[in-house]
Amino acid sequence: MKNKYSIFSLIKNAFSNHENWQRAWRDPEPKKEYDAVIVGGGGHGLATAYYLAKKHNLTNIAVVEKGWIGGGNTGRNTTIIRSNYLWDASAGLYDHALKIWEGLSQELNYNVMFSQRGVMNLAHNLQDVRDLKRRTHANRLNGIDAVWLETDEVKKFCPIINTSQDIRYPVLGGTLQKRAGTARHDAVAWGYARGADEMGVDIIQNCEVKGIKRNGDAVEGLETTKGFIKTKKIGVVAAGHSSVIANMAGLKLPLESKPLQALVSEPVKPIIDTVVMSNAVHAYVSQSDKGELVIGAGTDSYVSYTQKGSFNIVEETLKAILELYPIFSRMKMLRQWGGIVDICPDASPIISKTSIKGLYFNCGWGTGGFKATPGSGDLFAHTIANDEPHKLNAAFNINRFVSGDLVDEHGAAAVAH
Amino acid sequence: MSKNLRINNKHFVDETRKLSFTFNGKKLYGYKGDTLASALLSNDIHLVGRSFKYHRPRGIMTSGSEEPNAILQIGNDDALTEPNVRATEIELYDGLICNSQNCWPSVKFDIGGINNFLSPLLPAGFYYKTFMWPASFWEKYEYFIRKSAGLGKSPSKQDPDMYDHRYLHCDILIVGGGVSGLMAAKIASDDNKKVLLLEDKELLGGSLIYDDSDISKIDNQKSSEWLKKLIVNIKNDKNIIIKTRTSLAAYHNYNFLLARQNLTDHLSVNDRNNKIRQRLYKIRAKKVIISTGAIERPQVFHNNDRPGIMLASAVKKYIDYYGVRCGLENVIFTNNDSAYETALSLHKSGTKLNAIIDIRDNSSSEIVNQVKNLGIQIYWNHTVVDTKGYKRINKVTVMKLNDKGNDVIGKKIDLNCDCLAISGGWTPMVHLFTQSGGKLRFDNKDNIFVPDKTNLDQLSIGSAKGDFELDDVLKNSIKDTKKFLNIENSNFDKIDVKCSKEKEKKNIWLLPSDRPLSKTKPFLDYQNDSTAKDIKLALREGFKSIEHVKRYTTTGMGTDQGKLANMHALGIVADTTNTNMGDLGTTTFRPPYTPLTFGTIVGRNVGQFFDIFRKTPMHEWHVENNAKFENVGQWKRAWYYPKDGETMHDAVQRESKAARESSGILDASTLGKIDIQGTDANEFLNRVYTNAWSKLQIGKCRYGLMLNEDGMVYDDGVTTRLGENHYLMTTTTGGAANVMSKLEDYLQTEWPELDVFLTSVTDHYATASVCGPNAKKIINKIFKDLDLSDESFPHMSFKEVKLGDINCRVMRISFTGELSYEINVEASYGKYIWEKCIEAGKEFNITPYGTETMHLLRAEKGFIIVGQDTDGTMTPVDLQMDWIISKKKYDFIGKRSLYRSDTVREDRKQLVGLLTDDPNEILEEGAQIVKDENKKPVDMLGHVTSSYFSPTLKKSIALAVLKEGKKLKGQKLLVPMIDKTIKVTVSDTIFLDKENERING
Amino acid sequence: MFLISCPYCGERDQSEFVSGGEAHIARPKQPTELNDDQWAEYLFMRKNIKGIQFERWNHVHGCRKWFNVARDTSNDKIEKIYKMGEQPPKI
C-alpha cells in the first residue's frame, strides 16, 4: 500500500524532511508476457490500464510508452473539460467522462485540480446562435447542464469580454456549462499512473513499439526497443502516432495527424475566472491556477509529426483574442508549443475493436481528447476486457466509416444564404 | 538610506541627461542610458520583489533577459500598465512609474512572507497531495491558490498603442551584435552578401565593448578600442542593415524567424504619441548566424537568493557600463576565471573587494595572477555555506571543501559583504538553435550543451557555440564563418589576439553545506522558488525524465523560462541518478526566446482591420436606408430595414407582406457566381450536380444540388446556360469560395481531360432581385423593349438586355415563390440599377427586404437553406428532394455514398414542416422535438431548423428535421422548452401556394 | 512556415498554400462497382505516413493550381515538388 496523500501525510513527512515519500510508480523492466499491453502512456492509456486493473481485475498488464508518461498531448493541451456535445452518442461519452472527473481527485487520491469554473461558448452570427441553441436544447434533454446566455448575461459572467455590438463579429450570446472547467493535465497522467502501478500495472517508459506480431488474424505480441513482449491483447492509445502503429499491423485508419498549437501568457493575478471558447473567430482562453492565460490555437491543414505548427495560426488566434479581449494587448506570450492531433473525418473519436483479433484502437480524438480521459479509459478498458464495446462507445466503432453512420461533431457547416 | 553609488569613470550613461522615475511611490533619479535596474542600484536599491511561492525578498540579480527576480509592474495607468517587466531590460525614461509585484502591503513588509516559514509543508508538488478533503472544498482552496499566484496585474483598459509588422529578406541574418556577430557581418558583407544584423540592446558590441582589461588585446590594441573601430566600419557598410533594440523571438523551420523591435519603450510617455510601439519582423534568411553569446550561471548553495547576491558578470557590467557600484563591501564567489574580471573592475573603480572564494584548488592564469598580485584575499577550495541578511545580504559564511568536493570541513569563516558576486561558469545561449530543430551535444569539459546537428542553413559562433576565451571566439568565428559562406580569405585572417587562458576547471552542481540538505534552501529557480531539495524529492518519487522533474518542481517554468535554473537542475539530476548529462538530454526550449507582447504578434490586424468585410455595390444605399446588417461569411448583408422604431419582427412582417402583395427588392449580389466555359462544361455540370444538365437549353436556368463525396448536401444554386459552352453558376453566399476550390480541385486533379475553365465572378456583378405580383410591371418600366410575356420569357429563363450602355443579364428565377426577376449588371452599375428599380417600383410600394424576410418567404415555400436546414448530415433523400437525383446519370460527386447501409436507412432524419397548435406560437430555431418528454433519457427525434411567423398565412410555420419524418405527417409531437412544452403537428414542407401559381404573378 | 516552390509561380511562403492531404488516391472510375468497404477505403482511409508523404497542395492565394509535394512529415522537409499527373518520385 502506497503512502496516502493528505494534509496529514504532508505534515508527517515534513518532520522527516520529505525523505520518506515513496515512488509514485515503479520503473520496471518489461516481463516476457502480459495479459494485455497498452501502447501509449498518456492520460487515456494510463486510465485504460487503471480501469482494466480496477474494474476488470486484469493486473498482469503493462503500459509501454515511447518517451515519458504524459509527454504527448496530455501534457500539451489547454485542459478544457466539458460535455456539451450535440449528438446523443457524444453527450453520453463526454458526460460519462465528466461525471468521473467530478470525483477523480478522491478516487485517485491525487489532486487533479478539476476546477468547475464553467465553459462558455460564444455565438457570433445567426447560424452560430441557431447551432448553439440547438446544442443547448439537446444538452438539457440529455441531462447536461447547458444554458443559453444572452449577450448581457455573457458580459455579466465574464466582464472582460468585449460585447460591443460594433465589433466585426459581435457576441450575439453564448452557452454556458457550469459543470465544465479545467484540470491540471500532468496530474491526470501521474494520478492514473500511481493508481495503476499500485494495482500491479507495469509502466514502462522509454520503450518504443517497433512492430506488432500477428499470427493470422490475431495478435501475438509487440516488438519493442526493450525486446519482444508476448500478449494476446493490445490496446493502442497513441494519439498522433496511431496511424504509425496501425501501419505496423497492416491497418489503415481514417486519420490525419496535424499540428495543433497552444500558448500561455506570463502569469498575472486573476483576471478571467472561466473558460471562454469562440469557434467563429477561433479563440479559446482560460487562466491557469498559476496565473497564465492559456490559449488554444487552431490546426494546420497539413500532416506533420514535428510537434510544430505554422506561426500564422498563432497570429490568427491572438488576433481573435484581442478582438474579444482588447485589454490583453500588452500581455506577453511566454511559451508557445505544438502537439500532434489525430483527426477523424467526423471530428469524433474511435474506441473500437479492429479486424485483427486482440487489437484495439482508441484514437481520433482530434483537438479535444483531454476532456474525455477518464471516460475514454473506462470504456476502452471495458472494450478490451470484454472484447465488446460498452453501450456508451458502441457508436464510436471503426465500422461507421463504412456504413456511413458518422457522429458528425463539426457542428453545422457555417454556410448560409 | 538612499545613497548615490554612481562612480566616475568612462561609462556609457549620459550624465548630462538626468531622468526621474518612481519606484513603489518614491521618486528617484537616474540617467539616460540606464536600465531601470542600474538606476535602482545606483540608488542603493536591491530589494525589488518577492518570490512566487515563499514570498522571499529578492533583488536584482543579472543585467539581462535572464533576470528571474527584478520583474516589476510598469506603466502610468490602467491602459499602459504592463506586468512582469524585467528591470534589467527596460531602458530608463523620464517619468517611469514602477511597482513591486506579488507582495502585500509592500515589498519590504509582505504578509505572504509567512509562506517562507510554512515552506516545510510546501515541497514540490504539495498541491497534488492535498486540498482533496472535503471534496467540495476544492473551489475554496483554489480561490486562495489563484489569488496568491500570478505575478503582476493585467491591464484593465484598452491598449492605446500601435504595433506593426514588416517582412525582411536577407542573404545572411546575424543574431547578436557582439564581437563574433560583428566580425561575421563584416566578413559576409565583404563577400557582397546582404546582411541583416540584429542586436537586442541599444548599442552594438556585446560585453567586449565595455571591457577595460589590459590583458586582452586585439592587433595590439585594447580589445574594446579595436571593437569600436569595427563598429564604425560596420555602421558605414551599405551591405549591412542593423536593427538595434531588436531581439530575436523565434526561429522556425525553413529559416523563418521572428524578431521584435522596441521603438518607443525607452521614450518618455509624452514622446511616444502617434509612434509605433513595437514592430515584429518576419524574416526569411538564406543563411542564419547565431551569435547570441552565453549567460553566466549562478552557484547553488544555501540561501543563495538574498538581495545583493548577483551574477559576477552583472556586477562587472554595472560598474563598467553603467558606472554603478552594486555594493560597498563586495565578495566574489566563483568556480572559474571569468569572475576575476569582475575583481579587476571592482579594484579599478576603487570599490572594496573583501575576498574571493573559489571552489578550485588554484588557478595560475594571467588574470588570476594579476588579482593575486593586488593582494586580494582568495579562499581556494572553499565554498559558501550560508548567507545572512533578510532584505539585503550582510554576511557570507565560508568553509573549506573536502577532497571529493561533496562535503565541507574545518572552521566556518564569516565575511561581511553587502554584495556577493557569484559565478558558476557560462552557458551558451543555444535556445534559438534548438528552437530551429537543432540537436545539442554535451561537452563534458566545460559542462555545457553546444550546437551539434541541424537541418537548416545556420551556424552558431562565439560563446553561443561554446567558445569563451577571446582568441577562440575570434579565430573560430572567422574560420567557421568563412567555411559557412564558402569564402577563401577574409580581412581578419591575420588577426592577433592576446588573452588570459583558463587552465583549471571545477564544477559542483550542488555545493555542500555544513547542514544536511534538508535544512538548507539552495535555490535553482529563483522566480518559482524551486530548490535542489525539490529536484531530489521529485527523483525520489520516481519522476525520472527531466521533463517530469521540470513539471513536478516547476523549475524553469517562470517568466525567465529557466535561463538560469535549467543547467543546475540537469546537473543535480545527473549527479543524483549517476547519469551522464549528455544522456539525460535537455528540456525543450520553446519559443519565444523572451516573452512577446500579444499586440506585437497581432500588429495592425485589430479593430477595423481585424477582418476586412465585404460589401455589395449597393451597401451605401442600405446604410442610408437604415438597414440592419447580418454577417454572412465575410459579407455584410442587409438583414432588415426597420422604419420609425419598428422591431425586427414588425419590419420583417411588413417587408414580407409587401413582397407577397405588391413588390419587394433584395440585394442578392453576395451569392457566389462562377463563370464556366469550355466544350465539356455541360459534362462537368453533370458530374458535380446530382441532377441532369444535358438537356438544358441556351437561355434557360436550372436549380442544382451539389453533394460532398460522402453524399451529404454541400451547396445549391441556380445555373444558367448563357451560350453553347458557357454557363453561369450561382452558389450560396457563405459557400462560394469553398465551392470554387472544390470544383477547381476536381477539374485539375480528377478530370484534367475536361475542357472547362472556371472563373469566380462574384465580385464582378451586382444583383437586384425584384419580386412580387407587380414585379413584371416594374421590370417593364425599366426595360421597355423587353418582351416579358410568359411565352417569350418564361420562368427559369434568361435574357441579355441593354439599358443604355449597360449590359444587363435578367433571369426570371425565384427563391420566394413570387414572380421574380434578377437583374445582374457589372458591379459598378449596381447602385444605379438598384435605385432605378426603387424609382420604377415607387408606385407599387416596392419594399426593400433583407435576409430575414428572404428566409421567411422561402420557408413559406419550403425551399431549403444549405447550412441552416442542413448540417452536413443530410442527403437529398433526407430533404425529400429525391426528384433532384438523376436516375440516368452513371455517376456524380457523392452518388456512391447514397447507397451505403446507413444512408439507405428509411428511419433517417428527414425534412418536414411543423405547425404549432397555437398559431401564434413561434418555435425557437434549434429547439428539439420529442414524442414523450417524461421518458428518461428523452428520445430526441429531431430539431427545428427554420421558424417564422407568416403574415400571409397568419400563423407560425417551421421546418424541421425529424427521425422518420416522412412517415410522421399529421402526427402530434412536442417541443419541450425550459419553461413550457409546445404542441406541434408534422406537416408538409410547403406551406404556401402548393400549386406554384404565384410564380406567374 | 515552409517555403514552397509552386511549379508555376516559384518560391512562396506557406501561408499562400493549402494542403489537400495524401496524393495519388484517384477517384474510382466506377464507384458503383465498389462495395461499401472499398468505397470507405477511398473516402476516408489514409496512410498518414510519418516519413516521406506524397501529398497535394494548392496555391490557393496565388495561381490556384494544384500540384504534388513529397514531404518528410517527421521534419517537414520538402524533398520534391512535381505537377499533377506526374508519377511520384523515388525517394
Mark whether B642 and B698 lie in a shared domain. no
Q: What are phi and psi of B74, to 5 degrees?
A: -120, 145
Q: Is residue B946 part of a domain?
A: yes
Residue B3 has pLDDT above 80, yes or no: no
Count of residues in chain C:
91
Tell whether B821 and B934 lie within a shared domain: no
Cβ contact B197:B231 at 8 Å: no
Is residue B781 within 8 A of residue B848, CB to CB? The reply is: no
| pLDDT of the residue at A411 | 56
Band of pLDDT at residue B113, cut at 50, 70 and 90: confident
pLDDT at B358: 98
| Mean pLDDT computed over B613-619 | 97
**pLDDT (tens digit per residue) in B31-45:** 999 999 999 999 999
Asked, for residue B598, whether it belongs to a domain, the answer is no
Task: Confirm if B677 and B726 have CB atoms less than 8 A apart.
Answer: yes
Report the alpha-carbon distance of residue A289 to residue B581 in Å, rounded: 32
**Beta-carbon separation of A305 and C73 below 8 A:** yes
Chain A: nearest CA to B353, how far in angstroms? 38
B585 pLDDT band, cuts 50/70/90, is confident
- The answer to whether the beta carbons of residues C28 and B750 sit under 8 Å apart is no
Domain boundary among B396, B424, B452: B424
pLDDT at B432: 97
pLDDT greater than 80 at residue B954: yes
**Grid cell listed for B470:** 577571446
C74 close contact with A: CB closer than 8 A:
yes
> What share of chain B has pLDDT > 90, as a percent?
93
Give DSSP secondary structure letters for B827-844. Answer: GGGHHHHHHHHHHHHGGG
* Residue B9 reports pLDDT greater than 80: no
Output the domain CATH number for residue B35: 3.10.20.440
How far does the CA of residue B971 sit from the closest CA of chain C (Å)? Answer: 35
What pLDDT is stored for residue B214 in this prediction? 87
Which of A274, A330, A335 is the best mutation test for B, with the most CBs of B within 10 A?
Answer: A330
Pair B233, B372 in one domain: no
Domain end position, chosen among B561, B586, B611: B586
b/e burial code for range B779-809 (CB count within 10 A of at least 16 → b): bebbbeebebeeeebeebbbbeeebeeeebb
Report yes or no on B74 lying in a domain.
Answer: yes
Supply the pLDDT for residue B117. 87
How buried is residue B414: exposed, middle or buried, by Cβ count under 10 Å (0-12/13-18/19+)? exposed
| B-C C-beta contacts closer than 8 Å | 55
- Which residue of A lies nearest to B932 if distances are taken between CA atoms? A141
User: In this structure, what CATH number is given to the domain that contains residue B962?
Assistant: 2.40.30.110
> Quick one: cell of A48?
485504460
CA distance B755 to B725: 10
Question: Which chain C residue's Cα is nearest to B742?
Answer: C20
Q: Which of B133, B926, B936 lies at the smallest CB-CB distance from A133? A: B926
Nearest to B452 by CA among B461, B444, B441, B462: B441
Q: Are residues B67 and B193 in the same domain?
A: no
- Across A216-346, the runs of DSSP E, i.e. the strands, are 218-224, 227-230, 234-236, 256-265, 275-278, 283-287, 293-299, 332-343
Q: Please judge whether B551 and A19 are an interchain contact, meaning their C-beta atoms are less than 8 angstroms apart.
A: no
Mutate to test the interface with B, among C64, C71, C73 (most CBs of B within 10 A): C64
Assess contact for B55 and B115: CB atoms under 8 A: yes
Which chain C residue's Cα is nearest to A345? C44
| Domain spans in chain C, listed from the N-terminal domain onward | 21-26+38-85
Amino acid, single-letter form, for residue B736 = A
CATH of the domain at B277: 3.50.50.60
pLDDT tens-place string over residues B906-916: 999 999 999 99
B447 and B373 share one domain? no
Both B475 and B523 in one domain: the answer is no
- Length of chain B as a residue count: 1001
End position of a domain, from candidates B498, B528, B556: B498
B479 to B399, B471, B487: CA distances (angstroms): 44, 12, 10
Residue B591 pLDDT greater than 50, yes or no: yes
The HSE-up count of residue B78 (CA atoms within 13 Å, CB side) is 5
Does the structure show a pLDDT above 70 at A412?
no
| B745 touches C: beta carbon within 8 Å | yes
- How close B452 comes to chain A (CA, Å)? 19
Range B558-587 average pLDDT: 93
Q: What is the rounded average pLDDT for all residues in chain A?
A: 95
DSSP of B800-865: EEEETTEEEEEEE--SSSS-EEEEEEEGGGHHHHHHHHHHHHGGGT-EE--HHHHHHHHHHTT---
Give strand pairing partners of A259. A340
Residues in chain A: 417
End-to-end alpha-carbon separation of chain C, Å?
23
Task: Let me know whether B54 and B65 are in one domain.
Answer: yes
Which homologous superfamily does the CATH classification assign to the domain defined by C21-26+38-85? Answer: Folate-binding superfamily (3.30.2270.10)
Residue B23 C-alpha cell reads as 519606484
Region label for C33, one of left (φ > 0), alpha (ψ between -120 and 50) or beta (otherwise): alpha
More confident call, B11 vs C55: C55
CA distances, B12 to each of A64, B9, B34, B211, B865 (Å): 59, 9, 8, 12, 70
Query: Residue B10: is its pLDDT beyond 80?
Result: no
Q: Could C45 and A252 be called an inter-chain contact, meaning their C-beta atoms sit closer than 8 Å?
A: yes
Whether A303 and C76 lie within 8 Å, measured CB to CB = no
* Residues B169 and B283 grouped into a single domain: yes
The cell numbers describing A357, all together, are: 483479433
A403 touches chain C (CB under 8 A): yes
Chain A residues with beta carbon closer than 8 angstroms to that of C15:
310, 312
SS3 B179: helix
Please compute, for residue B725, the number of CA atoms within 13 A of its CA located in the half-sphere on the CB side: 9
Chain C residues closer than 8 Å to A243 by CB: 46-50
Mean pLDDT of A62-83: 96
ipTM value of the model? 0.98
Q: Are strands B329-334 and B419-423 parallel, antiparallel or unpaired?
A: parallel
- Per-residue confidence at B148, pLDDT binned at 50, 70, 90? confident
Strand partners, B197: B174, B242
Cα gap A212→A190, rounded to integer Å: 27
- Quickly count helices (H) and strands (E) in chain B: 23, 51
Report CB contact under 8 Å: C76, A304. yes
- Chain B: closest CA distance from residue A26 (Å): 7
Cβ of C76 within 8 Å of Cβ of A306? The answer is yes
Confidence band (pLDDT; 50, 70, 90) for A283? confident
- The pLDDT of residue B2: 53
A415 pLDDT above the threshold of 80: no
Please state, in angstroms and rounded to a whole number, the distance separating the CA atoms of residues A128 and A137.
Answer: 14
Does a structural domain hold residue B790?
A: yes
User: Residue B207: is its pLDDT beyond 60?
Assistant: yes
* Average pLDDT for chain B: 96
Do B772 and B658 meet the contact criterion of CB atoms below 8 Å apart?
A: yes
Region for B944 from its dihedrals, namely left if φ exceeds 0, alpha if ψ lies in -120 to 50, beta otherwise: beta
Measured in whole angstroms, the distance separating CA B214 from the mean position of its chain's CA atoms is 47
Q: What is the pLDDT of residue A383?
A: 98
Residue B706 lies in a domain: yes
Q: Return d(Cα B765, Cα B824) in angstroms, integer.
A: 6
Residue B624: pLDDT band (50, 70, 90) is: very high
Helix/strand/coil for B636: strand
CA nearest neighbour of A61 among A35, A32, A42: A35
SS (HEC) of B913-945: EEEECCCCCCCCCCCEEECCCCCCCCCEEEEEE
Q: What is the pLDDT of residue B873?
A: 94
What is the mean pLDDT of the segment spanning B682-698?
Answer: 97
Instruction: Give the pLDDT of residue A409.
Output: 87
Residue B14 CB: number of other CB atoms within 10 A? 12
Q: What is the CATH number of the domain that holds B819?
A: 3.30.1360.120
DSSP string, B20-64: EEEETTEEEEEEET-BHHHHHHHTT--EEEE-TTT--EEE---SS
> Residue A1 has what pLDDT?
55
Residue B167 belongs to some domain of the structure: yes
Q: In chain A, which residues have their Cβ closer than 8 Å to the Cβ of B131?
A: 111
Q: Is B275 domain-assigned?
A: yes
Largest CA-CA distance found in chain B, in angstroms, rounded: 117
Say if residue B353 is in the same domain as residue B400: yes
- Partner-chain contact B545 A403, CB within 8 Å: no
The structure's pTM equals 0.96
- For residue A414, what pLDDT band results from cuts at 50, 70 and 90? very low
Residue C17 in this model has a pLDDT that exceeds 80:
yes
B343 with B337: CB under 8 angstroms? Answer: no
Tell me what percent of the residues of chain B surpass a pLDDT of 70: 100
Output the DSSP codes for B241-307.
Answer: EEE-SEEEEEEETTTEEEEEEESSTTS-GGGGTTSEEEEEEEEEEEEEEE---EEE-----BTTTST
Average pLDDT over residues B930-948: 94
- pLDDT, tens only, C69-82: 999 999 999 999 99
Between residues 218 and 257 of chain B, which touch chain A (CB distance below 8 Å)? 250, 252-253, 256
Say whether pLDDT at B442 is over 90: yes
The predicted-structure confidence for B969-984, as pLDDT tens digits, reads as follows 999 999 999 999 999 9
Domain assignment of residue B242, given as a range: 163-294+428-498
* Chains within contact range of chain A (3+ C-beta pairs < 8 Å): B, C
Contacts of B744 in chain C (CB under 8 A): 58, 64, 66
Please give the tally of structural domains in chain B: 7
Chain C contact for B900 (CB, 8 A cutoff): yes
Query: What are B463-507's pLDDT values in tens digits?
Result: 999 999 999 999 999 999 999 999 999 999 999 999 999 999 999
Residues 53 to 82 of B: which have CB under 8 A from any A CB?
Answer: 75, 80-82
**From C35, which residue of chain A is nearest by alpha-carbon distance?**
A402
